[in-house]
Structure 1
Amino acid sequence: FGIEAFLPGSQIDVKPIRDYDIYVDKTMEFKVVKINQEFRNVVVSHKALIEAELEAQKQIIMSKLEKGQILEGTVKNITSYGVFVDLGGVDGLIHITDLSWGRVSHPEEIVALDQKIQVVILDFDDQKKRIALGLKQLTPHPWEALDQSLKVGDTVKGRVVVMADYGAFVEIAAGVEGLIHVSEMSWSQHLRSAQEFMKVGDEVEAVVLTLDREERKMSLGIKQLTPDPWETIETRYPVGARCSARVRNFTNFGVFVEIEEGIDGLIHISDLSWTKKVKHPGEFTQVGADIEVVVLDIDKDNRRLSLGHKQLEENPWNGFEAQFPVDSIHEGTITELTEKGAVVSLGENIEGFCPSRQLVKEDGTTPKAGDKLSFKILEFSKATKRVTLSHLRTYDDARREAVAAEKAEKRAAADATKSTVKKINASVEKTTLGDIAGLAALKSALEAAEKNNK
């Protein structure tokens, strides 16, 4: 009648149309679904004519469906989450997880549009007209086909299919995966990310650590392909051996170091230096630095080494003991002042402590940091590396000694006088009053004694 109508692409058929050109010049029946007189617009549909017929077909098909039934269908549409299959008038969905026993990134890896495939009915809902289909269920589960001779300790090859911080999933056969935990990737005990060792798509070789066919679980390891460094620890790093290590981290009580991958040790804070009083390991070294160590003890069961750094040198305190005996006086420099006293450097490798009451100068003032003074050794302990000093005693002892010497001198003079008088008295008893010469001698002796006492 000279009237043109518009046919939307979605109204051509019940299934998606990918090539509209095939319908050009084709005569078909249409149902008028919309007329707009004002804009002189007519909309028609071919799909509306066949939907009623298809609905009847769906009822028939749905009534004949059974779980486990195998049907042939045509791939109608592919989405990221699954595949829609035309079963001859009714659609079913194969979820991506039901396409293959293996991992599938996208359904296009398995099927293509318009491909005819066999599917199995997993479930359906009459009211919602939903049909769940499966493709992988048409083949045996890969775990059932897994080589029965495979056992713990065997070496397998596979491809990394999934990565996580805690490990990697490796597919050793289609649908059969094993987990390599990050702790099984290296003999090192330091926590690391699995991504440091491998990535998706890598072909790897691993050892079967656990195998549970009933639960369909398997754990793998790659560090087992190399010798355990602790098996020969006594011969490679015996007690007394010297080696280089890398500082890994600190604690308040020491430094954890790694001699080589998988072999860690601890340098206790007391084994860092013979002479320096280290309050925290961070004062002595830093993370990532190399440090020379000596093996002190081996704990093979707990995979720990006790290490020392100061043992690389002879204990200087053996020499200090003879160099700094108690009561000896040495010059020292005040390096630090505290509430309790001063830290004093007596040389390049030895320090002492002078309590506040022993720090007073002879003029009554208190010295400051950087001052050089004389100090007397009050206490020296090689075991505790403790040296107690006194500046006060360097001048106070001398003053006391002078006073004591003066008192001793006077006491000696007095004692001498008493002795002389005693002797004279004894001599007088033997003389008579008429012995003028004796009396004269007595008088002279008394005068001399009195003069000496003055």
Structure 2
Amino acid sequence: MSENKEAVKAQELDLLDDDDMMDEFDEEFGEESFRDLFENSLQGNLAVGDVVEGTVVQVNPDSVVVDVGYKSEGVIPLSEFSVDGAPAQIKVGDKIDVLFERAENESGLIGLSKEKADRQKVWNALEEGAVVEGRIVSRIKGGLSVDIGVNAFLPGSQVDLRPVRNLDKLIGETFEFKIIKLNKRRGNIVLSRRVLLEAERESQRSLTLKTLEEGQIIDGVVKNLTDYGAFIDLGGIDGLLHITDMSWGRVSHPGDILAVGDSIRVKVLKFDRDKERVSLGLKQITPDPWLSVSEKYPASSRVSGKVVSLTDYGAFVELEEGVEGLIHVSEMSWTKRIKHPNKLLSIGDEVETVVLAVDTDNRRISLGLKQVEPNPWEVIGEKFPPGTIIEGQVKNITDFGIFVGVDEGIDGLVHISDLSWTKRIKHPSELYKKGDIVKAVVLNIDRENERFSLGVKQLTQDPWQVIPEQYAPGTIIRGKVTSVTEFGIFLEVEEGVEGLIHVSEISKEKIESPKDFAKVGDELEAVVLHVDTNEHKIALSIKHLSERKEKAEVDAFMGAQKKATSSLGDLLKGAFDNASDEA
């Protein structure tokens, strides 16, 4: 009998030369080598690698003693009885399956393992194509490690229907997997969750295609976001929710209101069954707010809202979700010249406005910001009637005049023609600069066009009202040349008052050019020909003055001749009378 046992042992040891058998056993039974196990083969009916039922006979602080009907008991570490790190729940008398690893050691105990027994039972139950449940325990190169009773490999490409960027977030999660590759000899197991999801998706897709109809409200999950919309998984088939169909209000980007993974209810707007294209709407689930805008926001009513957008021409104010009104830049202030809305408003501001007009057909509401306050132009006339003298600061200077601050937000214009009665002003900056304090007279107020006219020269009497008396035709004046042109010479009559000596009135003789006769700064004498108070013009003449002087000289000469002749006659008459007397 002992010879037969020795022969069997020798035959078993010969298997050590078969590397494949060693690998298979090492993979299947783990830590102990094939050679060590067989060198410690059991006696009797038990063989190394057998899984047998044992009874717990003793529970120690760190180990459990188990009787398998052999001549000696075995000791198993208590840690092999814990589940997911929880304390072991084991007591004397419990029946458990264990793997027989080796015969007695020096201490007289046999080698048993509960873990290896559990693992072998799992291996025996596994087959390629089977669906198993497992828990993801760690991330490894190329994928994840999954505990299905034994460790298995889940490639990253088989985790989900779409690539998962963060695999770490799945650690600790429990799912169902399909075994797509199984090599018991090498202990390799490859799993796939994706194939199960694809099968489930295809099943859902078939069901969805049968039941999907336009107008239907259906649950979905946000699958992907783009700049123009979101793709919603309706159950095996994706539908497009365009950005314009997400909200009755303004949506800058789908990510503002949706996130991947969100569960939402959407309405089927269009469904092309042949091409399997679905257009979805989210805002269509709720009533269109514009249907009641006319009743809720009548003209002249005051409303409040939030500034949601600024443009060059105005500001858009959200009155409620899906309803916006426009405050045109011209409706922002009664008095200020608003170049851009951002000078007055910012996005997010809460503002009170007045409804100016509602156009429901074109979905437009015109709002006014300035109408919240009284129009200062309606009372400015009472405060500053024409003829009132005001004092204000020069706010702006233009080619055509100066703007003077009259009241808060209201500027009056002094036109360049109303700056002086007499001075020829090329540009207002010759007399004023920004910040100067000036006095002016209110000339006119145009409430309709919001214009306030002022005058500076009206503070003094118009000199042209007395000039005709001072410079009557025939008056001889002397003045300084202020300008010489091809058509004549301008002569300053008095400060700010000029007269023109036309080229035809310079001399009796032909003059090629007035510039040959005089230059700026020369002093000349002339006679007044005519005064035009309406046009503020004085016509002067040197030629007429010369003629007058010549005539005066002739008259003087003739008078002298006449006087001389008279004196000679008197003399001759006296002499004659004397001669007669003597005779």
TM-score (norm 1): 0.74
Q: Match for 1:349 among 491, 496, 499?
A: 496
Match of 1:431 in 2: none
Deviations 1:297-320 (A, max 9, x none): 333344434432210222233454
2:142–2:156 Cα contact (<8 Å) kept:
no
Q: Match for 1:110 among 246, 257, 279?
A: 257
SS at 2:548 equivalent: helix
Cα distance in structure 1, aligned partners of 2:163 and 2:406 = 66
Cα distance in structure 2, aligned partners of 1:196 and 1:289 = 26
Cα distance in structure 2, aligned partners of 1:257 and 1:367 = 42
Report the AA paired with residue 75 of structure 1.
Answer: V
Cα distance in structure 1, aligned partners of 2:319 and 2:482 = 67
SS at 2:494 equivalent: coil
Match of 1:369 in 2: 520
Matches within 5 A, 1:309-320: 309-318=456-465, 320=467
1:75–1:83 Cα contact (<8 Å) kept:
yes
Cα distance in structure 1, aligned partners of 2:264 and 2:462 = 84
Cα displacement (A) at 1:411? 4.7
Q: Match for 1:327 among 474, 478, 482?
A: 474
1:360–1:392 Cα contact (<8 Å) kept:
yes
Indicate how the Cα distance of structure 1 residues 147 and 440 shifts in structure 2: closer, same or farther if over 3 A, else same: closer
Which ranges of structure 2 fall in alignment gaps of 5 or more residues? 1-19, 24-140, 144-153, 182-190
Q: Match for 2:553 among 402, 418, 438?
A: 402
Moved more, 378-387 or 44-53: 44-53
Matches within 5 A, 1:19-58: 19-21=166-168, 22=170, 28=178, 54=201, 57-58=204-205
Cα displacement (A) at 1:284? 6.1
Cα displacement (A) at 1:386? 1.6
SS at 2:284 equivalent: helix
Cα displacement (A) at 1:159? 0.5
Moved more, 66-75 or 376-385: 376-385
Cα distance in structure 2, aligned partners of 1:410 and 1:9 = 139
Q: Percent identity?
A: 42
Match of 1:40 in 2: none
2:307–2:315 Cα contact (<8 Å) kept:
yes
Indicate how the Cα distance of structure 1 residues 359 and 313 shifts in structure 2: closer, same or farther if over 3 A, else same: same
Cα displacement (A) at 1:14? 2.7
Q: Match for 1:299 among 443, 446, 470?
A: 446
Larger RCO (CA under 8 A, 6+ residues apart): 1
Cα displacement (A) at 1:293? 2.9
1:154–1:207 Cα contact (<8 Å) kept:
yes
Indicate how the Cα distance of structure 1 residues 130 and 250 shifts in structure 2: closer, same or farther if over 3 A, else same: farther
- Is the aligned partner of 1:178 residue 2:325? yes
1:80–1:106 Cα contact (<8 Å) kept:
yes
- Is the aligned partner of 1:164 residue 2:315? no
Q: Match for 2:339 among 159, 179, 192?
A: 192
SS at 2:556 equivalent: helix
- Is the aligned partner of 1:129 residue 2:272? no
2:481–2:522 Cα contact (<8 Å) kept:
yes
Cα distance in structure 1, aligned partners of 2:316 and 2:478 = 70
Report the AA paired with residue 357 of structure 2.
Answer: T
SS at 2:554 equivalent: helix
Cα displacement (A) at 1:161? 0.8
Cα displacement (A) at 1:185? 0.7
Report the AA paired with residue 554 of structure 2.
Answer: V
Query: What is the RMSD of the two structures over their aligned residues, measured on CA atoms?
Result: 4.4
Report the AA paired with residue 446 of structure 2.
Answer: D
Cα displacement (A) at 1:324? 3.6
Report the AA paired with residue 91 of structure 1.
Answer: D
- Is the aligned partner of 1:378 residue 2:532? no
1:246–1:259 Cα contact (<8 Å) kept:
no
Cα distance in structure 2, aligned partners of 1:293 and 1:438 = 83
Cα distance in structure 2, aligned partners of 1:442 and 1:11 = 170
Cα displacement (A) at 1:112? 2.6
Indicate how the Cα distance of structure 1 residues 403 and 248 shifts in structure 2: closer, same or farther if over 3 A, else same: closer
Which ranges of structure 1 fall in alignment gaps of 5 or more residues? 32-43, 425-436, 445-454
Cα distance in structure 1, aligned partners of 2:458 and 2:522 = 33
Cα displacement (A) at 1:93? 2.1
Q: Match for 2:375 among 228, 237, 243?
A: 228
Indicate how the Cα distance of structure 1 residues 10 and 250 shifts in structure 2: closer, same or farther if over 3 A, else same: farther
Deviations 1:379-424 (A, max 9, x none): 3343432222334555553333112221244356668889999x99
Match of 2:248 in 1: 101
- Looking at CA atoms only, which structure, 1 or 2, has the larger radius of gyration? 2
- Is the aligned partner of 1:155 residue 2:302? yes
1:239–1:297 Cα contact (<8 Å) kept:
yes
Cα displacement (A) at 1:160? 0.5
Cα displacement (A) at 1:206? 0.8
Indicate how the Cα distance of structure 1 residues 269 and 205 shifts in structure 2: closer, same or farther if over 3 A, else same: same
Cα distance in structure 1, aligned partners of 2:381 and 2:164 = 75
Match of 1:38 in 2: none
Q: Match for 2:424 among 277, 282, 297?
A: 277
Cα displacement (A) at 1:193? 2.4
**How many residues are matched?**
415
Report the AA paired with residue 561 of structure 2.
Answer: K
SS at 1:370 equivalent: coil
- Is the aligned partner of 1:217 residue 2:364? yes
Cα displacement (A) at 1:339? 0.3
Cα displacement (A) at 1:228? 0.8
1:15–1:76 Cα contact (<8 Å) kept:
no
Cα displacement (A) at 1:209? 1.7
